[in-house]
Each structure stands twice: as structure tokens, then as C-alpha cells.
A and B are shown apart, each in its own frame.
Chain A
Amino acid sequence: MKKPFFSFLSSLKLTIILLIIIAVASILGTIIPQQYEGGESFRHLSPELVKVFNSLQLFDMYHSVWFIILMGLLSLNLIVCSLNRLPASWKLFSNIPSPDRRKPFENLPPESVILIEKDRNEVINSVENLLRRKYKKIRRKDADSITFFYGEKGAYSNFGVYIIHLSILIFITGAIIGSLLGFEAFVNIPEGESTNTVHLGRQKGVKKLDFTVRCDKFTVSFYDNGMPKEYRSNLSFLKNNNVILQGPLLVNHPITFNGIRFYQASYGSTPGGQAHITVNRENKEETTIKVKQKDSFYLKEKNAKVNIVRIEKNFMSMGPAVLIHIQNPEGTMRVWVFKRIEKIRDRIPGLFKKVPTFNPGRYKPYYFKLNRIDSNYYTGLQLSHDPGVVIVAIGSFFVILGLFITFFSSHKRLWIRVDDQEGKSRISVGATSNKDPVGLKRETEHLLRHFSSMG
């Protein structure tokens, strides 16, 4: 008698219950926003609910204690179930049943018995030859005037299911190793700068790398229709101020350095890029100057100083603009210098009357124009170190192998009896298979056709 607890652990009922709970929990996890997706989306929940969810670890559900316990129980159930059934499968695999069993020949359909006008010994020889060529574990038994054979193929098919179960345990092992020994982190590096400190993802806090990453350049390019085409960071990896590795990092093309994989995850621009402003005087002289925020330059003819107050990538949805303060002894004048002032003026009639500060010719006789603002990009890198990946890859291989063995192979067992019947040799073929009855039928038909062609 098995203990009740053990039999519960090894029951399919527990498997089904666990699978349902895991499935329902997973559904919850896709509805409740998870912490690492950015915590802002659960602001609309009431504080009490947030408290309850927090205590149940619902915001980081897939790493919560109870989810891990569920996974552990599933693994345990899988192990116990498999161990329970393994001896029977092993017996099927290794045992060789006796050739003169009666059962296989009971209720044989008439087409499984054929008569051949040939000497029995000759028939026995050719049957044995064929069996030895195509089957394994051949056994022969000679009685008075009857000879029995046994042969089989595909005995390994009994293990397909165990290979699948094993591969699931391998997956779970790989995931545990990854979460214990690995880490995920992210870092933003502005162009031209370097760092060796990264922010950890789930574990929180920062991590110091034993090397330095430098972003030499970041570029983003677009298709004609405005969709992004390529994000590219030119990275350098340094140790003791020596560049060890250099290369472009693109989405789908990570770089591995010191066992850490770097991914192109995001990008952005830092405020205070360089603005290119053209100053025109009386439609004659024209000069272009490059300025940053808080810079200033002089308009000698009027003894005026121009201060760059703000540089905006997109000011009030009207595109790039720079705010300048023009100071001269009489006072200060504010002017917003736009890149596309003609378009804005066309859209809003009488614009300069309504908003004089938008007039690029407000400070006579000068005319200001913004050519462009250089972006100061930073690249957003994701880092990951996961020693469990190799194990998970092995698991993937085994799960595919196991599926193919389970569903596309079968353990076919064959009993053949040769005896005399009214001066002819009679061959009877009985066969069983653990699955795939159609394939078994095809196989015995093929065999019988072969036998009858010897006659």
C-alpha cells in the first residue's frame, strides 16, 4: 500500500490542479501590470488594493514566493509521476517476451494468416532472415512441428514521455540558475561618455562592472515614411584605459564582453544640444554661429549682447526653437527663433501682431533664423548575464527530441508462427504496438506481402 500523501503527489489530479492554478495565475500576471514594466500604470488602483496586491507580490508575480512554490510542486509532481511509471516502461523496454505466447495469435484477422506452398524449413529460414534484417531482439522457439519467432522495433519509444518531462525539469533548473547567478541591468550613456556603473533590474541597486563601457557615437536612422530603420551605438570596452573590444551595437545584434551581453534597448536625447543660428543684417551680411544654452554673442553694430536662454527640440508643437534675450543699453528684448517660422506664419494669420516675440525680424535691422539643433544622444543599454541559458538550450533540444519520439515512433512487437497446414506452410503474424495502430497495420501488411511473395 502506498501512503496517501505519496499517491496524491504522484496523481494526475494534482498535475491538472497545478496546471490550472499556474495558468490562472499567469493570466492574472498579464492583466496586472508587472513592476518591471514601469510602475505608473497601476496608479489608478485604490491604495488599499495596491497594499493587498503588494503583500501578495502580485506586481512581481512571476518571481513571487508562491509562484516559485507552485513551480516547485509541479516539478516534484513531475518527478514522482515519472519515477512511478518508469519501472513499467523499463520492463517494456528490456524484457523479451517468449515467442510462443498464445495471446497474440488469438482472434487473428484472416489476412494475417497466409499459406505458402514451400517446405517449412525453407520458409522458416527466410522468415528468420527477414526478421534479423529489420527487427531487434529476435527470439526463436522450435516446438514439435511449430516454430515461433519474436521480434520488435522502436522499444526506445517508451521513453519519449520521460525525455519531455526531463526537459521541463531542465528548463526549470536553467531558470533557477539564471535567477540565482545571473543579473539584468540597464544603463544610459551619453555620446562620448563612459561608465562602469549600471542599474540592476529586479534586484534593485547598482552594480560596478570590472570594466568600462564608452559610447563613442549613437545614430538613429529612419525610413522615408518615418519608421525607425536602425539604432546603432558604437561602443568601446575598456580595461585599465585600454580598449579591449570595439564594435557597433544594433538591435538583434548583441555584443558579449566578459560574459555579459549588451543589448541596444532604447535611446534618448539630453537637453542642451547645440543650436545653429543664422544672423542676417539688412539682407546683406549673414553669419552662422553655433551656440549652447547660456552662451552669448554680440551684435557689434548695435552694441547688443544676445543671450541663449532656452533651446527647445519642439516648442509648443511648433518644432525646434531657441529663446534669445537681446540686451542693449535701452533694455532687453525677447525673441523666439524658430526653424520653420514661415510655415507657422502661414498657418496663423497676423501672427507677429498677436505674438511679437515670434517675429524673427523684431530686432531691426537683424533677422534671426534657426538652422538646426544638434542632438546630444544617449544610448540605452540593457545588460544581461545568464549562466542558465546553456541549460535551457539543452532543454529545448531534449523537448523536441522527446516530442518526436513520443508522437512519431512506436514500440512494435511481432509474434510469428510457422506451422504445417494441409501440406502447405502456414505463417501467422500477430502484432501489438503501444500507439499508432495505423502504422502497425501498414507494417504487418508489408511483412505479409513479403512473405507471400516468397511462395
Chain B
Amino acid sequence: MIINTTILSWVTFIYFGSAIFYIFRMVTGKEFWGPLASVIAFIGLIAQTFGLILRWFESYKMGIGHAPLSNLYESLIFFSWTIVLLYLIIEWRIKSRNLGAFVVPFAFFSMAFASFSPNVNARIQPLIPALQSNWLISHVITCFFGYAALTIACGLGFMYLLKGLEKGERPRLFFRFLPGREIVDELTYHSVVIGFIFLTLGIITGSVWAYSAWGSYWSWDPKETWSLITWLIYAAMLHSRFVRGWRGKRMAIMSIIGFASVLFTYFGVNYLPGLHSYF
């Protein structure tokens, strides 16, 4: 096993630890676990960044140098990297660790899938002709930052729905760390906006790339079509908020439905025939 995959599979365990501590913090209601969870997530992020750079470096040493964004394994690693990066920025900006228990597990799942699934090949592979393009990096980066922001919106959606289960005047132990509903709603909205903009950029960079690789900026390939469906779901969500004033539970449910569509765009499409077969 090459050293970068070793580091990256360790990161899987680090994120697992962080996720467990965030959940401990929420379930026990003790702040003690919070800083521990944050520090571990941060260490994981640094190790993962190092692992990704090392992988990049190793690919050059093999004579097939390219950014580590070119197959399912690398995209899963990058996905979890963007989730943790975005999450830690949000944690730092809003000075609250409440979201961690709902978001960091996604980063862990993505890493675990990359590291342990027998269907995911961790080897550094050379780029096939279709992927030899400068648009690869900008397309993958915009898409995955979008996916990460929408993952966070989904986590917030779950948080809102969980908050809805709360009964009685005094918050019970389990719910102590859940923030107010308006705050969750506002954060969901902001995450969706960021995700929507990156998704749009991802679709545009993708179609520019398709125009130079496949002969058409849009060919109704399943992945393209599903990215459009996802875009329409979030567009509908934003309209219902702006025009109809929908808030709260409906937004939470829509952010979860939207994320399901993101996941299908990412994974499900591989089971349909199409051009995007390398991811």
C-alpha cells in the first residue's frame, strides 16, 4: 500500500472519533467533548490535506502526474475534505459546535466508503484521454464544494426535524445543544444558497468541458440530467421561500430531498448508461 492511502485510511478513523465525540457532546449535554471533537476534526483535516498533497506528489513520481481528483476514490476523499473544511469554517464563524454531530458523520461515511469498499480502487491511475483537461480541476472542485454545502444543509434539516420532536417547556438533556429553530432555518438557507451557486458553477464548468471533449455542451447524459434535476429541486426550494415564505419544517424536508438527489447524481447515476463512467 502506498503511503498516501495509509494516511487517508487513518483519517477515516480520525473522523470517526471526531463524529463520535460530537455525538457524545450532544447526547450527554457536556461541553467537555466539544473541544475534543473539534481538535480531532482539525487534526483529521490537516492529515487529509497532507495525504492529498502526497498523493498528488506520488502521481508525479510515477510519471502520470495529475491532481488527485480523477476517480471515485479520489472524489470521495475530496468530498469528505470539503465537508470538514466547510464545517470547521462554519463552526468557527458561528462559534457553535451543535452542527458537528449532524455533519461530521457524512465526512466519515465518505472516507469509509473510499477506504473499505471493495468496489473502490485506491490506486493512483493515469488519466484516460477524456480526463486530460484543465477543466477537470475546476469542474470537480466546484461540484464538490456544492455537494459539501448541500450536505451541511441536509444535516441542518435533520437537526431541525429532531428539534421538532422536543416536547415540554424545559429542554431535556438530549436537546440541550440544539439551537433555536430560526437559527437552524437561517443556516439551512445560507448553506443551500452556497450549494446552489457552486452547483450552478459546477454545471457550467462541466458543460464547457463537455463542449471541448464530447462535442456538445449538453447531451442529456444521465449525470447531466440528474444534476439538472437537483438544480431544479433547490431552485424550487429557494422560490418557495422567497415567493411563498416557506420556512422551517418544509425547508428542512426539502433540504433532505435535495440531498437525496445530490447522492443519486453522485452515485446512483453510475448504474445508468452514460458518459460519466469514471466517477
Tell me which residues from 3 to 52 in chain B have a Cβ below 8 Å from any Cβ of chain A. Answer: none
| Known contacts A26-B229, A29-B220, A227-B125; A252/B213 CB under 8 A | yes
B259 to chain A, nearest CB (A): 16
B170 at the interface (CB under 8 A from A): no
Shortest distance from the beta carbon of B278 to any chain A beta carbon, whole Å = 11
Evaluate contact between B273 and A33: CB separation under 8 angstroms: yes
- Dominant secondary structure at the B interface: helix
- How many A residues touch the partner, as a band? 35 or more
A190 to B47, CA, bound (A): 52
CB distance from B165 to the nearest CB of A (A): 28
Shortest distance between the CB of B118 and any CB in chain A (Å): 19
Collect the chain A residues with CB atoms within 8 Å of residue B130's CB.
251-252
Please measure, in the bound complex, the distance between the C-alpha atom of A410 and the C-alpha atom of B212, giving whole angstroms.
37
A34 touches B220 (CB 8 A): yes
Contact partner, A30, options B126, B218, B225, B242, Cβ 8 Å: B225
What's the Cα separation between A41 and B201 when bound, in Å?
A: 33
Closest to A251 in B: B129
Chain A interface: which of B76-84, B101-109, B232-240?
A: B232-240
Residues of A with C-beta under 8 A to B236: 16, 19
Question: What CA separation (Å) do A22 and B225 show in the bound complex?
Answer: 11
Query: What band does the interface of chain B fall in when counting residues whose beta carbon is under 8 Å from A?
Result: 35 or more
Segment of A50-58, A371-379, A381-389 engaged in the interface with chain B: A381-389
B153 shortest CB reach to chain A, Å = 14
Alpha-carbon distance A392/B235, docked complex (angstroms): 19
Distance in Å from the Cβ of A176 to the closest Cβ of chain B?
A: 13
Residue of A whose beta carbon sits closest to that of B126: A223
Using CB atoms, name the residue of chain A closest to B268. Answer: A30
Q: Cβ of A403: which chain B residues have Cβ within 8 Å of it? A: 196-197, 200
User: Is A23's CB within 8 Å of the partner chain B?
Assistant: yes
B213 and A251 within 8 A (CB): yes
The segment from A107-115, A131-139, A140-148, A228-236 that touches chain B is A228-236
Q: Which of A168-194 contact B (CB under 8 A)?
A: 175, 184
* B273 near A407: Cβ-Cβ < 8 Å: no
Q: Mark B201-231, 1 if CB is under 8 A from A, else 0.
A: 1001001100111111110101001101100
Bound state CA distance, A184 and B216, in angstroms?
A: 9
Identity of the chain B residue whose Cβ is nearest the Cβ of A228 in the assembled complex: B128
- Give the complex CA separation of A382 and B213 in angstroms: 10
Inter-chain contacts of B207 with A (CB < 8 A): 392, 396
| B150 → A minimal CB distance (Å) | 15
The residues of A that contact B2 with a CB separation of less than 8 Å are none
B221 nearest in chain A by CB position: A30
A19 adjacent to B64 (CB under 8 Å): no
Minimum Cβ distance to chain A for residue B120 (Å): 17
- Interface contact A225-B125, CB-CB below 8 Å: yes
Cα-based distance from A369 to B220 in the complex (angstroms)? 50
Interface residues in chain A, defined as those with a beta carbon under 8 Å from any beta carbon in chain B: 12, 15-16, 19, 22-23, 26-27, 29-31, 33-34, 37, 41, 62, 161, 175, 184, 223, 225, 227-231, 250-254, 261, 263-265, 382-384, 386, 389, 392, 396, 399-400, 403-404, 407
